[in-house]
């Protein structure tokens, strides 16, 4: 079974809204991808105490990212989006040339500043609408 480098997982932002051109966000050092499939519980008295679920709940993609604050233009696009509470398009590259592209809202952005380290950040992006898996 093939193994993949963590450094190959890259988050990119669409540089011009609707333009279809994506570029890597500068300063990032770590990414986490979570695909959520909410189950709808339809258990009843005939379920013999076993849970029964419908695959009909909300679905979402959540991307978490950490890194170091950068003056990279693509990092600035992300900062502007969170400040304006704007939903914009991102693409995550992972695995062996797999991608997820979707509109995302930055649901949180945190800056950190340790005395003896670079200024850092962490953020969480939550998909809005149907993502494209390729």
User: Is 2 within the bounds of a domain?
Assistant: no
> pLDDT band for position 51 (50/70/90)?
very high
pTM over 0.75? The answer is yes
Check residue 74 and report its DSSP letter: H
User: Is 113 within the bounds of a domain?
Assistant: yes
* DSSP 3-state of 73: helix
pLDDT of 38 > 90? The answer is: yes
- What's the pLDDT tens digit per position in 103-120? 999 999 999 999 999 999
Q: How many structural domains is the chain composed of?
A: 1
- What's the pLDDT tens digit per position in 74-97? 999 999 999 999 999 999 999 888
Residue 40 bridge partners (DSSP): 54
Give percent above pLDDT 70 in the chain: 100
User: Is 123 within the bounds of a domain?
Assistant: yes
Task: Give the torsion sign (CA, 108, 109, 113, 117).
Answer: positive
Q: Please answer whether residues 102 and 45 qualify as being in contact, where contact means their C-beta atoms are separated by less than 8 angstroms.
A: no
- What is the extent of the structural domain holding 122? 9-41+51-133
pLDDT of 10 > 90? The answer is: yes
> Which CATH number does the domain housing residue 93 bear?
2.30.110.20
User: Is 4 within the bounds of a domain?
Assistant: no
């Amino acid at each position: 079974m093939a193994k993949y480098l963590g450094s190959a997982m890259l988050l990119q932002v669409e540089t011009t809204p609707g333009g279809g051109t994506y570029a890597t966000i500068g300063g990032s050092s770590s990414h986490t991808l979570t695909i959520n499939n909410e189950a709808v519980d339809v258990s009843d008295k005939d379920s013999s105490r076993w849970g029964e679920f419908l695959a009909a709940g909300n679905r979402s993609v959540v991307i978490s990212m950490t890194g170091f604050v950068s003056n990279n233009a693509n990092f600035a696009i992300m900062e502007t989006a969170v400040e304006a509470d704007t939903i914009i398009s991102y693409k995550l590259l992972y695995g062996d040339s797999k991608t997820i592209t979707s509109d995302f809202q930055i649901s949180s952005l945190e800056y950190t500043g340790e005395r003896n380290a670079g200024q850092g950040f962490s953020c969480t992006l939550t998909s809005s609408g149907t993502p494209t898996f390729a």
